[in-house]
Amino acid sequence: MTVLYIDSDEALSQFCQDIQHSKWLAIDTEFLREKTYYPQLCLIQIANDDVIACVDPIAIKDLSPLLDLLYQPQITLVFHAARQDLELLYLLKNTLPQNLFDTQLAATILGDGDQIGYGNLVKLRLDVSLDKAHSRADWTQRPLSAEQLEYAADDVRYLRELYHQMSADLEKQGRTEWLKEDFADLANANNYIADPETIWRKIRGAGKLKGVQLAVLQQLAAWREQRAIDRDRPRRWIIKDEVMLDLARFAPEKIEKLSQIRGLEARDIERSGRAIIDVISKAKQTPPEQWPILLRPEPLSNQQEALIDALMALLRKFCDDQSITPIAVASRKDIERLVRGETELSLLQGWRNQIVGHHLTAFIEGHLSVTADTQQIHTKEV
């Protein structure tokens, strides 16, 4: 099948008219974000059963015909590992399409593996080995070669075959409804909105700080995030995470002291030193009752750790019975929260509760007995 290369407004309008009656569309994107805060959209690949196209958003001035089409509620958009592609759509339209299908999520409940990559899934299900020659290409460069366009087209060429096969398997196994909540979560705009006030929670090592140190980290992180957004630069280019932690830990009061912070370069101090000191000074004046808090749960006892191990074994057993990847149902952290008595868990909702969650609750409450032989674990309600 010939791959269409669409690089004009006129060609895009005609293409959208040609495929407007599609019931589904396979979508992928090529983008770059190494030097920017926001991803730079470089190519949009689209396919249905009849056509494969690569749309060039760098050459095209008006993408609205395509966006209008993709947001039609009667069209299912098919992705693999959709979040980054959906982030791009959100940035373009400030909202998200609602009718989604993600083959990576589907793979988890069809026994194909957790977070399986597109290439591996294509090999597993279609026995096709994809060319990886252009996986590190600079997609901002023009013109794109014929080899690049074929490489990009493969990302939707086989995605449509996966969609047909996997949606049929889900229907056959009665699991189509299982994924509705997961797909709905993909379409939740809150997943794609940066919140400078809470971004500090994502800094690894924040749990080692306490008191006013967390107040400093929170305000520094908010300042860095906003500056990264305003300048469209990666946040690490403003200040690296490890430097942020040291700034919060030592909270220098004068610009001269900033040179003692390891990893903070002279050019960083010259460019942002006064702003950093001002943020730190303001944060240190925050009343104690307004300091952010990282809740640190009490350490688990040895018996609780043993219970978690037992529940993890049962999780694997029940998931194996259903040919489902365990991590699609619950992580060890989820099981730990269950042992601590939490009930607001996805494990205890919907299909996850149906096939696993209620069994684990029954075991904790003494209503499920467990025996084993050298081949498998056996359970029985009591």
Per-residue pLDDT reduced to its tens digit, 243-301: 999 999 999 999 999 999 999 999 999 999 999 999 999 999 999 999 998 888 889 99
The answer on 57 and 203 residing in a single domain is no
Cα 227 to Cα 244: distance, rounded to the nearest angstrom: 14
**CATH code (residue 226):** 1.10.150.80
- Asked if omega into 143 is within 30° of 0 (cis), the reply is yes
Residue 248 CB: number of other CB atoms within 10 A? 26
The answer on 242 and 97 residing in a single domain is no
In a domain, 295, yes or no: no
In a domain, 297, yes or no: no
In a domain, 296, yes or no: no
* Spatial contact of 213 and 248, defined as CB atoms under 8 Å apart: yes
Q: What confidence category does residue 2 fall into, taking pLDDT thresholds of 50, 70 and 90?
A: confident
Distant-in-sequence, close-in-space partners of 374: CB < 8 Å, separation ≥ 6: none
pLDDT at 294: 86
Q: What confidence category does residue 108 fall into, taking pLDDT thresholds of 50, 70 and 90?
A: very high
The answer on 356 and 228 residing in a single domain is no
pLDDT at 163: 98
Q: What confidence category does residue 213 fall into, taking pLDDT thresholds of 50, 70 and 90?
A: very high
pLDDT at 296: 80
Per-residue pLDDT reduced to its tens digit, 163-207: 999 999 999 999 999 999 999 999 999 999 989 999 999 999 999
pLDDT at 290: 95
Give residue 340's domain range.
302-381
Name the nearest CA neighbour of 5 among 58, 49, 41, 84: 58
pLDDT at 242: 96
Per-residue pLDDT reduced to its tens digit, 329-354: 999 999 999 999 999 999 999 999 99
The answer on 321 and 283 residing in a single domain is no
Per-residue pLDDT reduced to its tens digit, 117-163: 999 999 999 999 998 888 788 999 999 999 999 999 999 999 999 99
pLDDT at 17: 98
Domain end call among 265, 290, 315: 290
Beta bridge mates, 153? none
Name the nearest CA neighbour of 211 among 291, 157, 283: 291
Mean pLDDT for the chain overall = 95
In a domain, 254, yes or no: yes
Question: Span 300-322, mean pLDDT?
Answer: 96
In a domain, 276, yes or no: yes
Cα 88 to Cα 75: distance, rounded to the nearest angstrom: 18
